[in-house]
Every structure is written in C-alpha cells, then in structure tokens.
Chain A
Amino acid sequence: MAVAVRLALIVLLLLGPGGWGHTEPSRDSLREELVITPLPSGDVAATFQFRTRWDSELQREEVSHYRLFPKALGQLISKYSLQELHLSFTQGFWRTRYWGPPFLQAPSGAELWVWFQDTVTDVDKSWKELSNVLSGIFCASLNFIDSTNTVIPTASFKPLGLANGTDHYFLRYAVLPREVVCTENLTPWKKLLPCSSKAGLSVLLKADRLFHTSYHSQAVHIRPVCRNARCTSISWELRQTLSVVFDAFVTGQGKKDWSLFRMFSRTLTEPCPLAAESRVYVDITSSKQDNETLEVNPPPLTTYQDVILGTQKTYAVYDLLDTAVINNSRNLNLQLKWKRPPENGYIHYQPAQDRLQPHLLEMLIQLPANSVTKVSIQFERALLKWTEYTPDPNHGFYVSPSVLSALVPSIVASKPVDWEESPLFNSLFPGSDSSSYFVRLYTEPLLVNLPTPDFSMPYNVICLTCTVVAVCYGSFYNLLTRTFHIEEPSKGGLAKRLANLIRRARGVPPL
C-alpha cells in the first residue's frame, strides 16, 4: 500500500512540468495528394502537392526547433523578412488546346516572385541576396537574377496569402527562360519533403521517369494563411507542387492504358508516417468520351465532386491512410483502362503501290447530331522518272474526288410505292426503308502543283559533257598517240619553179 502510494507519487512527479509528459499537439502538419487526370489527347497528367503547414509566427519568435517545416526555408523567411515566396522550375509548355486548362501553370525556365514585408528597408539588396541563397539551395543559376531581369509588377501578382497592405514596392518578379531543369533541381526539392523520397507519395518521384515527359514543372510556394476559420492568427504554409504530363506515344507506346507502374516505374507501398492526410485522386469526369468508358482499378471506395476551374468534376479518391486501400501485404498500383464497346464502325485502307495501284480509304462512320466532322488524310506523291512526265507537267497533278455515300433520315416518311413505276428521277437508288433515303455526293477534284524538273537539262548536259570530253580527251589522245617530227620543206619541183616565175613577174613573194 505504501509502496503503491510511493510509486504513484513518483509517477506523478515524472509527469509534472519539465518531465517527459509533453502532451501538447504538434504545431505543424503535412498533407500530401496526387491528382491523376487523363487528358483528351490520350496523355495523362499527374500533379503532386505536398503542403506543410506550421502554426507559428516566424517573424516574432526565435525559432530553433524545426520538425516538418524545412529549416533551410524557415531561416530564409526570418532572415529576409519574407511575406511570400514563389519559385518554379519548368521544362516544356502546357498545351491547353490538347490538354485542357492546367491547375497551376508556370513559365518555361525559372520564375521567382517574392513579396517582402514592409519592415524591409532595402528591398533590392534583400532580393539579390535571396536569389543567391536560393541558387545554392536549388542548384540553379538563380544568381543571374539582377536588375536587368527583375521587374516590379503593378497590376498583377497580388499576394496569394494573407496581406494587410499591397504596396507593390515590396514585390519583385524575375524569370530566367534559359534555365534548364534536371535531376540536380529535383534532388534538393525532394530533400525538403518531410518523408524525403522514402515513404508516401514521394517514392514515385524518380528522375528518369519524371524527365521523360512532355511537361515537367516543380514549384515551391510559401505564404501565410489563416490558422482557423476566424482568421485571427497566422500559419505558414509551404506548398510544393510537381506537375508532369506523360506522353501517350513516347511513354505509353501508343496505348491509352495507364498505371502507376507504367508512369513512375514504382507502386505505392505505404503512406508517409508523418502525414496527416495522404490521398490519390483520379479524375473520372470524362469517363465517357468517344464511346470509350474509363475503368479505374482497384475500384475506389469514395468519390469527390466539386467545381474546379469553372466546371463540375468528379474524382475517385484513394486514401492511403486507410488500411483497406493499402497495407503491408498489398501495394497500390492504380490502373486506368479505356474500354471500347463493340465497334459498329468500319475502316478499310489499302495503301498505294508505286506504279501499281492508288490509295483506297473507306470509312463507315456515325455522325453525331448538330456537329461538324472533318476527315483529312495526308499523302505523298513520289517523284516520277523523267520519261514518265506528261508533255505539260506544269499543269499539275490531279487527285480524284472523294465519294460520300449517306443514308439521310427523311423528314417525311415516304409511302412504299412500286419502285419501278415511279418517275425516273426517283428510281435511281432503290430505297427499302421509308424513314431514310440514300444519297451519294462527291467532292471537287484536287489539282496539285508539284515541282517539275527542268527538261532541257539532259540536252544541256550532253552537249557540255561531249564538248569537254572532246576537247580534253581528244587533245590528250592526240598528244599521246601521235608523234611529231619536223618536215623539211622540199626544194625542187617543176610546178613550183614555174609558179615562182609567174609570181616574180607579178611582184608577189615566192612559195
């Protein structure tokens, strides 16, 4: 009894202030999410977002203990009195026409924009020092940022976080379009994550897959946010985003089926133990397009609907902290498959063979109502041999017209009459169905102007060659095969003497 009391006392003492019983909740939290969006062009976009939120007033305190928030960035905020920092590295360009609108686009190269607090006296000096420090942290040439590429925007780039004044004198913006993004920029970015690349969603961040993409953008955003709904105190939010677009033809080998393993060559094995939330979202809004349905495997346990960028979207949600989704014995390898219903179309294509047969393309298509369908085909004409040209090659070459055969629905149902007895203009196409009629249309033939050779050239070449051969070869032949010897002119000859007499008489020089 006494022993128990003494034990209890000892236990109480240990749990007192200054002991081990520190039950205060941690002041920082990590949320990580991955959004997979199948794009209309067959590619797939993956966007990672890691958000570390720290409930602390960095400006006022002397902070010495960093848990989830990286120390390198926390020290920057206090040393340079930052209000906000946005830094992005991008390779490639987001093709909105083919891929749809992006969540957050960034310019090609490196972009840095910073809001300083109004306690800073020399903003330009802090800006220069800050870009030097960041160039060391992220292994990038940000030290080339100086007054020649820095501007102070006055209309846009308002603070994305809490702000009590927006005097744009404290804003600086610079972009370096020549900056290359490669593994050496990804490595320090990964090191800022609490779980590094060991657990959670960051195991998928392998450089050799992430840079084999059409678009790669990684960014760091630091801003102050509201701590609670009343918004009476500040928390600091560090948001690290990474967007990549995997190309269907380069990485996907032409197929539209995707899986985590195919994209990242890894699967998810466990959530990050330091994360409060760890989720994967798959966009299933356009799950029916072009008569294909999207199937996500394994089937999601929950879905999420919201208005994103102006349109209603539906997402399949996989919560990695839920043991039903992922546990020790099971990896998560999400698979997206497009299933085609049985085709009711037909395509027949017979390619051309030179001097044997032309191209033949036949397609049976169902046209959707109130739409415009364009069919185009690219072809090449091989160069002809010079004897195969027509006498007037500059006229051009003809491409035969295309044929469109269609069954058009009738507005008025026709009565089935004896087809043979109808007037001639109605008895061309036998119609079996009274609700539609058959029609055959043709397009214009195409006259294509192709480059033609200069037909006088063979004659010119023959003349020139023969001349050269005759002059050179002939002279050489003569030089080599003929011998030259001096001939004495003959003295005598009766005819010659007679001729000389006559010449002397005339006064002309003799022979």
Chain B
Amino acid sequence: MAANSFRPRVLTALAGLLALSFGSLADSRIEDQAEQFFRSGHTNNWAVLVCTSRFWFNYRHVANTLSVYRSVKRLGIPDSHIVLMLADDMACNARNPKPATVFSHKNMELNVYGDDVEVDYRSYEVTVENFLRVLTGRVPPGTPRSKRLLSDDRSNILIYMTGHGGNGFLKFQDSEEITNIELADAFEQMWQKRRYNELLFIIDTCQGASMYERFYSPNIMALASSQVGEDSLSHQPDPAIGVHLMDRYTFYVLEFLEEINPASQTNMNDLFQVCPKSLCVSTPGHRTDLFQRDPKNVLITDFFGSVRKVEITTETISLQPDLGIMESSNKEDQIDEERMEPLKYAEQLPVAQIIHQEILTDLPYLNKVHGGQEVD
C-alpha cells in the first residue's frame, strides 16, 4: 500500500524536478540571449575625428584623419553621427597635383577622400574652443545639427586626434594648444552630463601617451602612437605629391581596419598589438585601467562600427489612408487664390529709381551734420 502510493509521488517529484530543470535551462538560455543582446551596453555610435595641422607639408595628418573617417563610415557609422574636423584643405590645395584626392599609399592606390565626404568643421573653425564645445555640448545657439555631438548616455564615442604634439599638449593650427588637463576635464564634463557610455580615445602625435595620463573619468580606453619622450614618425613620401603621405601608426591601424567588416569578432587586444616597435619605431601605448570591461571582450565594431541589433517580427501592420489629410489637401488645391493684378519681375537696374532714392540709415553722424551743430 505504501509502496503503491510512494511510486506516483516519486514520479511526480521526478517530473517536477525535470520540469524545474527544463524551466531553469530555458530561463538561462533566455537570460543568455538577453545578456548577449545588451552585452556592450551601447545603442548608438559617434565619432569625433580631428586633424589639427595646417599647411601643405602636414598632408599626412589630414590623410590620417580621413583614413579613420573612411573606415568608420565603411563599418556603418553614418555622416550624421560623425563630426569631422580638418584644419586645412589638402585635396583642393593648389599644390595638389591630383585635385580632389588625398592618398594614403604611395603609388596612389587608395584615395581616402572619396566622393561623398562631409567635413563639418574646416579651416579656421578648427580651434580648441570649438573642439571643447563639441565635446561638452555647449555650442552656440544656431549651430546646425551636423556640427553637434548629440550623444546620450548609451553612446559609444570614438575620438581620434592627430597633429603635432608634445609632452602634455597638442598643437592646434600652429597658433594655440590644448593640454592634457583640459582634455581630461572635458571628458569629466561629458561623464557628468552622461554624454557617453564608453569612450575610445586614439591619438597619433609625438609623445602621445602624455595626453591620456591625466584622464580620471570612468569608461575611457586610450591608445597613443608613442610614449613620452618618443616621436611618432611618418611612413613614406610620395615623389609625385612631394610630401609624406601617412604616419606610421595610423598606416598600420588602417591596414588592420581594412580587414574588419561589420560582422567581425576581433577585439581590442588585437588593436593594441597593431604597430610593434619594429614597424613603428616608436612604442605605441594604451591605457585601460579606467575601462570597466576586459579589453578582450570589447569588439572593434563597438567603437569603429555602428552595429545595430535588429529584431525581426512577422506581424504585419496595414495602413489606412487618412481621409482627413486627403480632404484638406484637396481643399487646398481648389483654393488657389488668384490675384487680381498680375505680378511682375523687378527691374534689374532702374537707373532713375536708384538716383532719386532716399537712403534711410541709422548712422548717427549723418543726423548731426544735418543739424549744423556739434553733438557728441
């Protein structure tokens, strides 16, 4: 009797256990999926690419910036999410033997300028003040959208800077400089205003590592092309163009990025190995202590690409034509007010009218002369 009642109880218990285990398995699978979905924690990508050098012999800095621009665009970040700042115009420079092109390889293999480039800040607009305003978001009212960094707390931002630099500073256009302290404070402002989720800072200048020494905000990873006391060197000159085309570090970074596609799983540790001392002559450095995730879990496309997670649904939605809008547009077609008199074009050079016109100005001194008295 007891055995008989025992068996179904065991069976139910077993069944219950199995169900529980299946349930937990299913739960953990869903959890895994959910975790993968939100693994990186960001929902949109931005890039701020800055070239700070002016003059034709600094062609390589513009080519550096445009190579990164090209890679970032190719991997998916749209122009509306890229703020490109070029301090001088090399492509349409009178000294460029091939106008509208900027090459990165000698023998002119790769034109990084392309056919649909959009430069947001150019020539005299690339100043320390404008750069810091873009980063912190404190731009003057009336700044168009393409010149603003409209990031939020779920944005991953890539910041790339190149030019001439020294121990603790980066030179802007030969007339001013930005120090590493100012840069670190700007990033802290961004953190306080929740303007980024994670930030990758790459700098290709002499003594570049000094620029990231002072960072103190969380979630920043930084790479530099050379340590303090070392110079970053340029790659190869081109005899037809007459200047050096690229810097070594960015040249090898570009080679590395050309092999990345939006689906690749390459991580940041590979980027750290990109230019060893034998190729670069300087020692590239990196800083990851402020970054919360392990670099080997960070994909290259988390910063350089704009990989969107897409959820496909099979529901269909049918749209009904909105009768209200159509009726109103029909009405507008019918009410086309016809004027009584025909309109006419203005005369381009009405001599009589020009000679006899009275110019109402608000220049104070005119009134004073008319009055015939001396007025202060």
* A226 adjacent to B343 (CB under 8 Å): yes
Q: Which of A161-169, A332-340, A479-487 touches B?
A: A161-169
Residues of A within 8 A of B333 (CB): 24
Which B residues are CB-close (under 8 A) to A275?
none
Whether, in the assembled complex, A102 has its beta carbon less than 8 Å from a beta carbon of chain B, the answer is: no
Q: Mark B134-163, 1 if CB is under 8 A from A, else 0.
A: 000000001111110000000000000000
Interface contact A231-B119, CB-CB below 8 Å: no
Q: Collect the chain B residues with CB atoms within 8 Å of residue A132's CB.
A: 142-144
Residue picked from B144, B147, B333, B350, most chain A C-beta under 10 Å: B144
Which residues of A sit under 8 angstroms from B345, Cβ to Cβ? 159-163
Contact of A137 among B100, B144, B338, B360 (CB under 8 A): B144
What residues of chain B lie closer than 8 Å to A133, measured between beta carbons?
A: 142, 144
Q: Which residue of B lies closest to A22 (CB)?
A: B326
The secondary structure that dominates the B interface is: loop
Which chain A residues lie closer than 8 Å to B99 at the CB level?
208, 211-212
Q: Which of A163, A183, A187 has the most CB of B within 10 A?
A: A183
How far is B327's CA from A22's CA once the two chains are assembled, in angstroms? 12
Hey, what's the 0/1 contact readout for A15-33 against B, CB within 8 Å counting as 1?
0011100101000000000
B297 at the interface (CB under 8 A from A): no
Shortest distance between the CB of A106 and any CB in chain B (Å):
16
Known contacts A188-B118, A233-B336; decide if A183 and B100 are in contact (CB<8 Å). Answer: yes
- A155 with B336, Cβ < 8 A, contacts A136-B146, A182-B92, A211-B99 known: no
Cβ contact within 8 Å between A232 and B101: no
Smallest CB-CB separation from A230: which chain B residue? Answer: B342
User: Across the two chains, which residue of chain B brings its CB closest to A184?
Assistant: B119
What 0/1 readout, one digit per residue, does chain B (338-368) give for beta carbons within 8 Å of chain A? 1100111111111000100101100000000
Interface band, chain A: 35 or more
| Segment touching A, from B121-129, B208-216, B274-282, B306-314 | B121-129
Among A24, A128, A184, chain B packs the most CB atoms within 10 A around the CB of A184
Residues of A contacting B11 in the complex (Cβ-Cβ under 8 angstroms): none
B119 contact set on A, CB distance < 8 A: 139, 184
Contact: B346 with A158, CB < 8 Å?
A: yes
Give 1 or 0 for each of A121-141: 1 = CB within 8 Å of chain B CB. 000000011001101110111
Q: Is the Cβ of B343 less than 8 Å from the Cβ of A139?
A: no
Q: Are A234 and B343 in contact (CB under 8 A)?
A: yes
Chain B, Cβ-Cβ closest to A191: B116
Docked CA distance A22–B321 (Å): 12
Task: Report the separation of the CA atoms of residues A116 and B100 in the bound assembly, to the nearest whole angstrom.
Answer: 35
A18–B118 contact, CB under 8 A?
Answer: no
- Interface presence of B113 (CB below 8 A): yes
Residue of A nearest to B125 (CB): A141
Within 8 A of B (CB), among A205-257: 206-208, 210-212, 226, 230-234
**Beyond A139-B119, A212-B99, 16 extra complex contacts between A and B, CB < 8 Å:** A17-B327, A19-B321, A132-B143, A136-B143, A139-B120, A143-B125, A162-B344, A166-B346, A180-B123, A183-B117, A187-B117, A206-B115, A208-B98, A208-B115, A226-B342, A230-B342
A-B contact pairs, 24 of them (CB 8 A): A18-B321, A61-B332, A133-B142, A136-B145, A139-B119, A141-B122, A141-B123, A143-B143, A158-B350, A159-B345, A160-B346, A161-B345, A162-B343, A162-B345, A169-B360, A180-B122, A180-B123, A182-B89, A187-B116, A187-B117, A208-B98, A212-B99, A231-B342, A232-B342
The 7 closest A-B pairs by CB, nearest first: A136-B144, A182-B92, A211-B100, A231-B342, A211-B99, A184-B119, A132-B142
